[in-house]
Amino acid sequence: MTLAWFVAGTDTGIGKTHVSCTLLHALQLAGHRACGMKPVASGCLATAEGLRNEDALALQAAASQPAPAYGLVNPIALRDPLSPHLAAQHDGVHITLDPLRSAYDRLRGDHDAVVVEGVGGWLVPLAPGVFASDIAKAWRLPVILVVGLRLGCLSHALLSARAIEADGCQLVGWVGNRIDPAMDAVDENLTTLRELLPAPCLGVLPHGVPPAQAAALLEMALLS
């Protein structure tokens, strides 16, 4: 059976890709053939090969070799750096879950583990009536929450955890990411998160440490 998780974030810009790549390296250390997926990505650049997203390219590079095709890692690539439902409107694209699921199933067939990275926060809209959270719900993926450690993270983390559980998804753990190395009272904030979040802390990633080096800091029990 293929292992799989959905990596959600408390907000945009809090390091979901960094944590997802770190998870991929941890999975490979545990002996798994692992790959990442970013089903929908906005803010893509035009290249000779087509639209490419920096985060999706990082996930592709962190996968077990040979790396999966870009179109499987990122089936929906959108130009403008906007909420996906707006970027899709600008590109004349209608986002539905079926083609995303087809790519996910192909990745599952070729790997022992798949890390599916969300876009923005839990309730970012993808299309009318469709949200990023619907990917985790429809595919029945356990959720790992990335908490960007900065001022305001407590409320963002607790609200995200409440929304994840209210949607019927399983929050299996959270990862603290030191996006603000100058954050005050970081240890006290981490203690509060450990006390109040309804899932275990899987690790705290320091600022500026590459995923391959940070992989050993993650809790391996979940990934074994």
Domain tally, the chain: 1
**What are the catalytic residues?**
38
Q: Report the CATH number at residue 29.
A: 3.40.50.300
pLDDT of residue 1: 74
- Beta-bridge partner residues of 116: 6, 37
pLDDT of residue 207: 95
Task: Report the candidate in 220, 136, 205, 206 with the shortest Cα–Cα distance to residue 171.
Answer: 136
Domain enclosing residue 65, as ranges: 3-223
How far apart are the C-alpha atoms of 40 and 47, rounded to whole Å?
18
Mean pLDDT by 10 residues, the chain (224 residues): 93 95 95 97 97 98 96 98 98 97 97 96 96 98 97 97 98 96 96 97 95 87 62
pLDDT of residue 50: 96
What are the φ and ψ backbone dihedral angles of 19, each rounded to 5 degrees?
-65, -40
pLDDT of residue 2: 82
